[in-house]
Structure 1
Amino acid sequence: MGRAEERRARQRGGRRAAPKRRRSPGAPGKSGIRRLFTWKKILGTFFGLCLLGMGAFVVLYMMIGIPKGNADAELQSNVYKYSDGSLLARAGDRNREIVDLAEVPKPVQKTFVAAENKTFYKDAGVDLKGTARGLLNTVTGKGAQGGSTITQQYVKNYYLTQEQTVSRKLKELVISLKLDREKSKDYILAGYINTSYYGRGAYGIQAAAQAYYHVDAKDLTVEQGAYLAALLQAPNQYDWAIASDTGKKLVKARWNYVLDNMVEEGWLNKSERQAMKFEEPEEPKADPSMGGQTGYLVKAANAALEKQLVAQGAAEDSKQAGALVDQGGWTLTLNIDKKKQAALEKSVKQQLDSKLDPRKRKVDADVQAGAASVNPKTGAVVAMYGGRDYLKHYVNNATRPDYQPASTFKPVILAAALEGDAETQDGTPIRANTIYDGTSKRPVVDDGTKVGFAPENEDDADYGKVTVQTAMNKSINSVFAQMGVDVGMPEVMKVAGELGMNTEGLEAVPAQTLGTMGASPLEMAGVYATLDNHGRKVTPTLLKSVEHNTRAVTVPDAIGDQVISREAADSVTSVLTGVVDDGTAQRSVRNNPQRDGQQVAGKTGTSDDNLSAWFTGYTPGLVTSVGLFGEDDKPPYKHVPMYKAAGEPRINGGDFPALIWAAYTFGVMGDTSKFDLDTKQGAAVQPTWTPTPTREPTKEPTKEPTTEEPSSSSPPPTTEEPSSSPPASPSTTPPTFTPPTAPETTPPDDGGDPFDPIKPGEED
């Protein structure tokens, strides 16, 4: 060690400096990122942002004052137009009468607090967690989430707008805090119950009391108040007059929730609560200007607009969307064709109403008609029949989904079979000429095992061995039940959903082959329109355009993607022409003098106990679904049978529904046209002829001849195309043929068994 080094060592306390370590090239060390993001810096940034946010909020609090009531109080009417621009209706005047809180019984006041904001009397007017969640959802585009206090909801209703923006939510927060400091809780509660929307066009508790219970607010009971309070969560969904079974269950559950909360808060005696029963609201009093079909069309247009407002994010939910629509200022042009609408109404009146006489037969008062007509090329709903009169029957029969479509579901099963190249239990591809056993109550089999389902054919008729075409013509339940299992019920329900049916929550079980789910004429028109449109999805669309001075609403495209192949869709259409020409619809449609050679496809349907009867049919340019529904004409409006209505033993789909369809369609269709089909199967591509039977059809069903059908001991059937040449002259027995030694062929005419005419009562 040199002298200089020793001196430096002594200066450092006698210790020699340790030599610097050399870091190996791969050894870790403090990187630039670690030096930049230290805990101190992160915490400092966090607290800095918090202070900045607090400062910004203080500035907002100082800048934002309590404004005057918004312009929603000066509401405009909504204007509704036909597709040609002519006026359909003008509606939307605000139905509101402000009442003092003192006029509302105190227990009824508490029902609203129990429903919406139990801490109302204690909080500062805001729910910070709920507001923060709402702000985050708005920023991220996730939509709405609950959590607003009564004060915040009142501020939104009265001082602000319903727009979904961060600035609006921040204003709502500030104004709510200030309002809670400057006004009493009674003032805020009165404002809330007087400005809220309750459905049925009613704003405020007085209008709601009249709309739902036909009493003044001062006369409301706790039970009634609890319903009105529950209603605010979803006015349209919870309106008892139009609610689905699910909606009724939900509003009852919320009614119980309100009353239980009142007990919990000490506002209601437990014994009184236990004695309370749900009180169903009265039927609505409709606006006189909404009479006839007008009210149905206006309500359906409003519902379509509300759905689109939610879809576009302009409203958080159906409740808020309904409030936006009822604020007015909308011009809605519908796809409804004025001439077709009038023709559909006339057809129902002439073909059905003129035959009904409730004075002679009580059951005639229970028959309700509904219909929807759709252009398959555009998806436009060109005509709709909702019922006899909106002022007398509030529920729209064209859109109600609570009746079974019955055998009008059978084409969906065939579509699933053809789309999935399904096979029978014997491995035979399912085609229009594939042979099935049409014996009534024949147990359905899956891989050699009975599945516990053996449906009865209409009138328990046995048909023996028949082609799929014949089974569709005669609507044979046993055939399509087996076909559904052959295809696989999950696949059937999947195709049903793709075609446009609402299959959510439905079990994929064989019983669904009978069309036991609920469906509306509008829904079934959409399914058949997709078939008519060669498998490309058609969503029936009522709105043509929507205009508003401050909002933009885009009408979605009604034509979607290819959901099943063109060949599958066209094959179903081809088969359905046989239902008209040789099946259950021939009496009403095939022989109609107005038909003028028009090619038609369609399917009849009649549900169990004759609760509903359908005909859904189409030409290349128009699809219409007509349903007749048995409904008691007095509360509680239960489903009832239609036996002996209009003097008929039973109302079948081939009767009044098909007659209404034919009179309407053939009157408005214009020039006749043929289907452009990409298929080699079905009645549309098979020669057809009309036999002259030697025996009169009887009311009692008879079994089909079996001596000429392939025997049960024959080899498995194939889908080999039958001969294209019909017999030279029809006779009273089907032509015989000699099966080849290989797999057997089908009977010569794939359009059905022409020498066994359709008899009354053979339709399902």
Structure 2
Amino acid sequence: MGSRGKARARTEAKEIGTPRRRRWLRRLLGTTLGVILLGMAGFIALYFMVDVPSANAQATAQANVYKTADGKVIARTGDVNREIVPLSQVPVAVQHAFVAAENKTFYTDGGVDLRGMARAAYDTLTGKGLQGGSTITQQYVKNYYLDQNQTVTRKVKELIISLKVDQEKSKEEILDGYLNTAYFGRGAYGIQAASQAYYGVDVSKLSPEQGAYLAALVQAPSQYDVSTATAAGKQLALARWNYVLDNMVGMHWLDPAQRRTAVFPQPVSPKGAAGVTGQTGYLIDAADRQLTSSGALTDGQLAAGGWTITLTIDPAKQKALENAVRTQLTDNLSSSSSIDQRVQPGAVSVDPKTGDVVALYGGAGYPQHYTDNATRDDYQVASTFKPIVFASALENNSTTQDGRTIGADTIYDGTSGRPVQGSVTPFAPPNEDDRSYGKITVQTAMDNSVNSVFAQLAVDVGLDKVAQTAQTLGMPSDTKGLNDGPAVALGTMGASPMTMAGIYATIDHHGQKVTPSIVKSAVRGGEAVTLPDTIGNQVISRSTADTVTSVLTGVVNSGTGTAAEQASQVAGKTGTSDDNKSAWFTGYTPDLVTSVGLFGQDPKTGAQVSLTGAGGVGRVNGGGFPAQIWGAYTKAALSGESPLQFDLQTNQGAAVQPQTTPSSTPSATQSPSGTPSTTPSQSPAPTPSTTGPATTPPAVPTPTVTAPSATPTDTGTGGATPPGSGPTRFPRGQTG
């Protein structure tokens, strides 16, 4: 074939091939279009098939965060360190930092960025490293609704749900959810936990520079934590921080002048998660029980987490109380002494004007000792109950057996073991060390905690009225021991330091009811629960309360509580239970009430045991360790404050007039005069007392009385005996 023939053949072949090529291109385009249409149809079908799911458990799990009154976080409880906060608490500059870092088109896009996703896929495939490409909406969807698995199915769901979420929620709601679900490293989920973990401040206090660093962290939390990162990691973190700030300037969210002067905000060193150890365990336990027992929260609501619970605890006073217990008690106890290991201290300090618990000591601390000694109520309060008996006498205008009105100067027979008159239950309590005082005033009886006087006084008032006054002042109505007959005057019932602090705070607050509270607020998602009022109605008259306060100043000035003296005026009462199983001092100044108790407990069995011999002091009295702890604490707690005097509306008691001496045979209308002797009577006066005989009857066996307790309790505290069995002797007795 010649050249001309060959050219013709090629032309003919080309003409034949052109239709074939066209047909192939048409098929390819058709197939491609079909695939696209099929894909679009499939996507549309999936769009309607895939619903926005409920939040996953991890996204909503939160810790309960506990803070002291100054806002310092002391603990978080729960598996997830997260505290959800509304977007309104996040500074706008910090919000902008996250948008500048993660998704500059956030406020205008439709929830997804296809161009960004394509770019990220290309970079990943071409070896430029794994890229994200997800919008803030997509990251929120991944964190809040889905899991972290990198599968095609999960990515498709993420895309569809993001589109739907963007239609259903505002940009503010999406950004709020994103900031509360993002992980920042250091175990911190959400912007609030991250703010605390990296800068130790509430999110509302973050600066733009700090916000930019937290926004930079989200991309690689572990790698960008400059406190633990490698040199290369630190450089990358700094570069990322600069990138965020530059973007903020570019978006007109940060002034260029502020950008030029910006200094990298070095985060604080990482700390272990705050836990419930030491005294913190008692503080949290007391707060939780108050919230649930008051009905402010249910157990389920509290367990769900997410609560920011601010306590009333004053860190300075808390430290002062812990130091006082250490220096006045535990430093004097030996870890090798089986007796010393029985001592369990507990204390509560209350502001009487607000009811705030400003300090609490619950024991050796978690995990060494889990029972909160500050709130346990299984030990007798002993003679700290006597002021309640006197308050009841004043409030009820009570009279003696021979018709004399009871007041601070009323004369009683202080003979040890004198039988109580007018009681259906025979009772003849001895005084401490069986000391007899003869004729003395109620003031002197309070100063020296004279059992025989207060047993008679309780009967004169009426035991039912005494119990009612105790409940009115704040003792729970179901308190065991309030019906122990005349022995109730000596504090045979159990109550906690928290309860006793509340009762004395009510007296200090001039008779207006004070209910101690350790919770200042409980907030979740910006909503606060309603807490019961801590200051209530007038429950006893001001004159009654102020007279009790006046009388109780004598206990500290010249009675059993001299170890508690302060620059400010002080009122208080000591107490030591039968068999020395508990020792107390509860006292107050015009602006601080503190109840300190020591409890004897077998460290192995939990049984109540005697404190005698602890610290090498023999019998542990309320005027010893408890009063010393009270004194050291109160001095430190009120350091720097001007000494205060009580504002009293009364003409009775040691604070307003000198004590008087009774005449040898007072009449029903005679006013005692002079100063009674506090020296024990060697032989009681033969003149019959107007409140009963002064002679001491022979001792008879003491019946068993069970003290209210969850563990084995006192016996032999002078309970009721059947009529006709003879007067009850009180072995050693409740003492001062």
Does TM, normalized by the shorter one, top 0.5?
yes
1:530 corresponds to: 506
Find the counterpart in structure 2 of residue 116 from structure 1. none
CA shift for structure 1 position 494: 0.4
Q: Say which SS state the counterpart of residue 444 (structure 1) adopts.
A: coil
Question: What CA distance in whole angstroms lies between the structure 1 residues aligned with 2:421 and 2:304?
Answer: 58
State which of 595, 606, 611 in structure 1 corresponds to 2:576: 606
SS state of the match for residue 281, structure 2? helix
Helix, strand or coil for the counterpart of 1:683? coil
Partner of 2:407: 431
1:639-690 CA-partner distances (Å, limit 9, x unpaired): 110111100111000000000000010112221100000000000012479x
Residue 663 of structure 1 pairs with residue 640 of structure 2: no
2:543, 2:496 → 1: CA distance? 27
Could you tell me which amino acid in structure 2 is paired with residue 332 of structure 1?
I
1:289 maps onto 2:269 in alignment: no
Do the aligned residues in 2 keep the contact of 1:615 with 1:658 (CA within 8 Å)?
yes
Matched, 1:482 2:456: yes
Secondary structure (helix, strand or coil) at the match of 2:368 reads: coil
Question: What does residue 683 of structure 1 align with?
Answer: 654
Match of 2:667 in 1: 716
Amino acid at match of 1:600: V
Identity value in percent: 55
- How far off its partner does 1:465 sit? 1.1
Q: 2:550 aligns with which of 565, 571, 574?
A: 574
2:117 aligns with none
- The yes-or-no answer on 1:351 pairing with 2:328 is yes
What is the one-letter code of the residue matched to 1:659? Q
Give the structure 2 partner of residue 169 of structure 1: none
SS, match of residue 466 in structure 1: strand
Alpha carbons 2:429, 2:733 under 8 Å: kept = no
Counterpart of 2:339 in 1: which secondary structure? helix
| CA offset digits 1:283-310 (Å, max 9, x no partner) | xxxx9922210111011111112123x3
Quote how far apart the aligned CAs of 1:69 are.
8.9
Task: Deviation per CA, 1:206-236: give whole Å up to 9, x if none.
Answer: xxxxxxxxxxxxxxxxxxxxxxxxxxxxxxx
Listed one character per residue, the Cα deviations across residues 236-257 of structure 1 (whole Å, up to 9, x for unaligned) are xxxxxxxxxxxxxxxxxxxxxx
Give yes or no for the alignment of 1:454 onto 2:428: yes
The counterpart of 1:339, out of the listed 316, 324, 330, is: 316
Q: List 4+ stretches of structure 1 deviating above 6 A.
A: 67-70, 730-734
SS at match of 2:622: coil
Question: What corresponds to 1:541 in structure 2?
Answer: 517
- Paired residues, number: 442
* 294-303 or 550-559: bigger deviation: 550-559
CA contact (8 A) 2:398 2:461 kept: yes
Q: CA deviation at 1:93?
A: 2.0
1:328 to 305, 312, 325: 305
The offset of 1:762, in angstroms, is 10
2:455 is the counterpart of 1:502: no
Q: Which of 384, 389, 392 is the equivalent residue of 1:413? A: 389
Measure the CA separation in 2 of the matches of 1:427 and 1:665.
41
Contact 1:78 1:330 in 2 (8 A): yes
Separation in 1 of the partners of 2:451 and 2:670?
21
> Alpha carbon RMSD of aligned pairs, Å?
2.9
Q: Counterpart in 2 of 1:129?
A: none
The DSSP-based 3-state class of the residue aligned with 2:427 is coil
- Secondary structure of 2:275's counterpart equals helix
TM-score, length basis structure 1:
0.55
Separation in 2, partners of 1:293, 1:464: 47
Task: Tell me the amino acid that sits aligned with residue 664 of structure 1.
Answer: Y
Larger Rg: 2
**Pairwise mapping of residues 166-245 of structure 1 onto structure 2 (< 5 A)?**
none
| Residue 379 of structure 2 is aligned to residue 403 of structure 1 | yes
Aligned mate of 1:75, from 61, 66, 75: 61
Structure-2 change in CA distance of 1:632 and 1:541 (3 Å): same
Decide whether aligned partners of structure 1 residues 366 and 718 sit closer, same or farther in structure 2, where only a CA change above 3 A counts: farther
Distance, in Å, in 1 between the alignment partners of 2:58 and 2:455 is 56
Match of 1:302 in 2: 288
TM-score normalised to the size of structure 2? 0.57
The C-alpha deviation readout for 1:614-646, integer Å capped at 9, x for no partner, is 000000000000000001111x31111011110
The answer as to whether partners of 2:521 and 2:528 remain within 8 angstroms in 1 is no
Letter in 2 for 1:710: S
Other structure's SS at 1:544 match? strand
Per-residue Cα deviation, 1:153-178 (whole angstroms, up to 9, x for no partner): xxxxxxxxxxxxxxxxxxxxxxxxxx
Contact map agreement 2:451 2:735 (CA 8 A) in 1: no
What one-letter code is carried by the residue in structure 2 that aligns with 1:605? Answer: G
Q: Relative to 1, partners in 2 of residues 1:515 and 1:731: Cα closer, same or farther, differing over 3 Å?
A: closer
Q: Deviations over 1:406-442 (max 9, x none)?
A: 0000000000000010000010000000000111121
Q: 1:555 to 1:732 in 2, by over 3 A?
A: closer
* Offset from partner CA, 1:177-215 (integer Å, 9 cap, x none): xxxxxxxxxxxxxxxxxxxxxxxxxxxxxxxxxxxxxxx
Alpha carbons 1:431, 1:719 under 8 Å: kept: no
TM-superposed CA distance for 1:733, in Å, is: 12
Q: Distance in 1 between matches of 2:392 and 2:430?
A: 22
User: Paired residue for 1:645, among 614, 617, 620?
Assistant: 614
With over 3 angstroms needed to count, the CA separation of the structure-2 counterparts of 1:688 and 1:494, relative to structure 1, is: closer
Equivalent in 540, 551, 556 of residue 532 of structure 2: 556
Change (3 A) 1:93 1:567: same
Residue type of the alignment partner of 1:602:
G
Residue identity in the other structure for 1:349:
R
Change (3 A) 1:457 1:414: same
Q: Could you tell me how far 1:92 is from its partner in structure 2?
A: 2.0
